[in-house]
Amino acid sequence: MSLSARWVIGTWLALLLACIVVISRTEIRTDLSAFLPSSPTPAQQILVDQLRDGVVSRLILIGIEGGETPALALASKRLARQLRQQQSFASVDNGEGAAFTRDREFLWRNRYLLSPAISAEHFSSAALRAALEDDLQLLGSPAAMLLQRVLPNDPTGELLRLLEQFEGLAKPDSREGVWFSKDGKRALLVAQSRAAGYDLDAQEQALKSIRDAFSNAPAAGNIAAQKLLLSGPAVFSVNSRASIKTDAWRFSLIATVLVATLLLALYRSWRVLVLGLLPVASGALAGIAAVSLGFGSVHGITLGFGVTLIGEGVDYAIYLFTQIAPGTTPEKTLDRIWPTLRLGVLTSICGFSAMLLSSFPGLAQLGLFSIAGLIVAVAVTRYVLPILLPSGFTVHATAVLAPAVATVVQRAPRLRLPLILVVVLAAAFLIVQRGALWSGDLASLSPIAISDQRLDAQLRRDIGAPDVRHLIVVTAENQDLALEAAEKAAAALQRLSQRGLLEGFESPALYLPSLAVQHARQAALPEPWALRANLQHAQQGLPFRAGLFEPFVHDVTAAKQQPLLNRDSLQGTSLALKLDSLLVKRSNGWAAMLPLRGVADAAALGQEIEQPARKQAVLLDLKRESDQLYRTYRREITHFSLLGAGVIALLLLISLRSARRVFDVMAPLAAAVIVTAGVLVLTGTALSIFHLIGLLLVVAVGSNYALFFDRQTASAQDRERTIVSLVFANVTTVIGFGLLAFSKVPVLNAIGSTVGIGAILSLVFSAILITRAHDTAVSRR
């Protein structure tokens, strides 16, 4: 090995070592943040916060089905009891009385601070008279049974008022004392983990303890028939991490075995086989290290798709190995193909670099990963591989297959007319379908299997969890000011609901009024002597026994002196959960959220609520917001793809110095992209961003094919060898990605099918559209 060769190998190994050191210190993130813009609007920030560690992200929906209702109810009670003893859960709810009793108790004790009806006027003798007359009327109804108990303490009906306030919120059906689905076939529980939603390891642990508790529960009826269903954000994240891991692992294992077998048959050397993987492996390491240095952390998604995007790197070694003519050296071969290879790499880099500009960290990371990866992969191919290749290495299969391949390629141009027809048809079809081309919502980004999404929707319907779509968000410096702002917004909403703009709303201030409001209510409570006098006056002519309402006077007097409520006062009630989900601490203060029901006119509502005077209030349409986010995302990546295409055209024009050749190279690629998209849409696929990423890769891989076809070769044999090497490279790409199309994970499936189809089409279209003098087997020399 020469001195310079030693330097090359030494530098390469040092680089790999440095990459490994960087990677070992890298934080791999798996939360959604990479999918969200780096400079979000306040509305998007709320969305992000909620998804990351909001109460919603901590909810685990649990269903138990299979068997008779009583056995399921028993299983639900046992599971809940076991889980309540564990530290990992903040709460476990299955509809059993315990939580409701505590809620009621809390409302009862604090009714004079919580009730919105409290004012000085509320205790005047006229108002009391009206209340007492109502009571008499109610005593004639079935509610009398309950009313009699509380009437001496609460003749003004504050408890009923508070209960009614929360009544509008949907609740699941109840059987045998626990929550059940409407059809009674599924017992339901809701657990809230202590760990935040983004802490996937803790979430995985929590899910495991639910499964363990379920299977360890002492037998109740025919337990073998009972099945545990889990859903919720945590389940999704944990499952999709696992399924992407297993699917990616399984499919890449199969693909590796297939590709390695094929290459081994070609190379007839284990050493060369291993050498062939060096460029891509080095590239992947460099890619991860580059992203880690550039962004501070690497997202799991970047890892997965980054490695996919530099799949092109596998081809580099194939181009080199299979084109070494018998009797020549790798260096000589490289001298011949290097200009084309270099241009191919530059083309791909141009295509990917547009992604660097993205405001979505995930896309920018992917861009950086691919660029760094490809540069290293091609450099390893150029400088390291020739040194390590055994001397005299040549691929015999190339020579054997060359004549047959050449014949096919010679005849390929006859298909030009049909091809043009197909492309025109596909383009027309896509234009006609353009409205329905794209999958419209953010959900299409989610790596969650459709069956899981269905289960979640089912459980949510059962539980009666509302699909929160419209929210008013108010922000303030501290918790109490946020509550005050919520109260102001609520007053406005009350007026708007009377105008019919919405049906109703919820507010954290219902559960915990601001200190100012609590104080005002307390001040409005009358002194005992005044209350007694008013009562006496109000009672005249009504049949109530004398002194009946003395407990009422006592309670009002006590309430006038009771300490004001804060968040801790709600501890142990299910109202605390509610409050925490609606009142959240943000990096710069507090936000209160008021979910709306039955919004009739969102635009008018937004205008009313976002008046300058109340500029701290924002109407948030979560669906619109997340769809907006998705559209921005898609628009960005589409723009970048077009920009990339423009830059590629410019690069080719500079390198090839002929508009005609630029057209020659780009035409098959454009045709492949159009027809691939056409085939996908025709088979009923709604295109997502992952298909776009797949198409980007098609262009990256395909541009090499086109450039090699376009290359002026020294001899007909040289050209034949080149084309055979393209076929080998193509077969490996199609095996690698085609297999992914069998994955059930939507993301892997999308990329796999797109690249599988697109890679074949690029090669075939290049053969049909690009003809050179040597195709007629006439040497120029």
* Site residues for other proteins per CB under 8 A: 136-137, 139-146, 148, 151-152, 164, 167, 171, 173-174, 543-545, 548
Question: Least distance (Å) from other proteins to the CB of residue 99?
Answer: 13
Question: Least distance (Å) from other proteins to the CB of residue 26?
Answer: 53
Question: Least distance (Å) from other proteins to the CB of residue 546?
Answer: 9
**Among residues 160 and 677, whose Cβ is nearest to other proteins?**
160
How many other C-beta atoms can be found within 10 angstroms of the C-beta atom of residue 251?
Answer: 21
Residue position matching structure tokens 């801790």: 568
**Among residues 342 and 461, whose Cβ is nearest to other proteins?**
461
Question: Least distance (Å) from other proteins to the CB of residue 172?
Answer: 10
Token code pair at residue 447: 């790596």
Contact 681, 757 (CB under 8 A): no
Q: DSSP 3-state assignment of 185?
A: coil
- Write the DSSP assignment of 223-289 as a string of letters: GGG-EEEEESHHHHHHHHHHHHHHHHHHHHHHHHHHHHHHHHHHH--HHHHHHHHHHHHHHHHHHHH
Question: Least distance (Å) from other proteins to the CB of residue 165?
Answer: 12
**Among residues 174 and 628, whose Cβ is nearest to other proteins?**
174
- Rounded Cα distance between 41 and 482, Å, is 19
Contact 257, 351 (CB under 8 A): no
Token code pair at residue 140: 């004639």
Tell me the CA distances in angstroms from 673 to 436, 603, 677, one per residue in order.
18, 40, 6
Tell me the CA distances in angstroms from 134 to 139, 161, 507, 603, one per residue in order.
9, 13, 28, 40
**Among residues 100 and 393, whose Cβ is nearest to other proteins?**
100
257: which residues sit within 8 A by CB, 6+ positions away?
Answer: none
Question: Least distance (Å) from other proteins to the CB of residue 135?
Answer: 10
Question: Least distance (Å) from other proteins to the CB of residue 543?
Answer: 4
Question: Least distance (Å) from other proteins to the CB of residue 105?
Answer: 16
Token code pair at residue 305: 């798709």
- Write the DSSP assignment of 53-111 as a string of letters: HSHHHHEEEEEEESS-HHHHHHHHHHHHHHHHTSTTEEEEE-S-HHHHHHHHHHHHHTH
**Among residues 146 and 253, whose Cβ is nearest to other proteins?**
146
**Among residues 185 and 469, whose Cβ is nearest to other proteins?**
185
**Among residues 103 and 204, whose Cβ is nearest to other proteins?**
103
**Among residues 170 and 417, whose Cβ is nearest to other proteins?**
170
Q: DSSP 3-state assignment of 168?
A: coil
Q: DSSP 3-state assignment of 631?
A: helix
Question: Least distance (Å) from other proteins to the CB of residue 144?
Answer: 8
Question: Least distance (Å) from other proteins to the CB of residue 162?
Answer: 13
Question: Least distance (Å) from other proteins to the CB of residue 142?
Answer: 5
What does DSSP assign to residue 513? -
**Among residues 142 and 684, whose Cβ is nearest to other proteins?**
142
Q: Which residues pair with 298 in a beta bridge?
A: 28
Contact 240, 447 (CB under 8 A): yes
**Among residues 127 and 202, whose Cβ is nearest to other proteins?**
127
Contact 245, 466 (CB under 8 A): no
**Among residues 175 and 488, whose Cβ is nearest to other proteins?**
175
- Rounded Cα distance between 68 and 76, Å, is 12
Which residue, 47, 65, 66, is CA-closest to 57? Answer: 47
**Among residues 140 and 218, whose Cβ is nearest to other proteins?**
140
**Among residues 150 and 449, whose Cβ is nearest to other proteins?**
150
Question: Least distance (Å) from other proteins to the CB of residue 174?
Answer: 5
What does DSSP assign to residue 435? G
N-term to C-term CA, the chain: 37
Tell me the CA distances in angstroms from 3 to 381, 525, 542, one per residue in order.
19, 95, 112
- Rounded Cα distance between 284 and 118, Å, is 67
| Structural Rg of the chain based on CA atoms | 35
Question: Least distance (Å) from other proteins to the CB of residue 71?
Answer: 18
Question: Least distance (Å) from other proteins to the CB of residue 150?
Answer: 12
What does DSSP assign to residue 445? G
**Among residues 106 and 549, whose Cβ is nearest to other proteins?**
549
Token code pair at residue 222: 């025919």
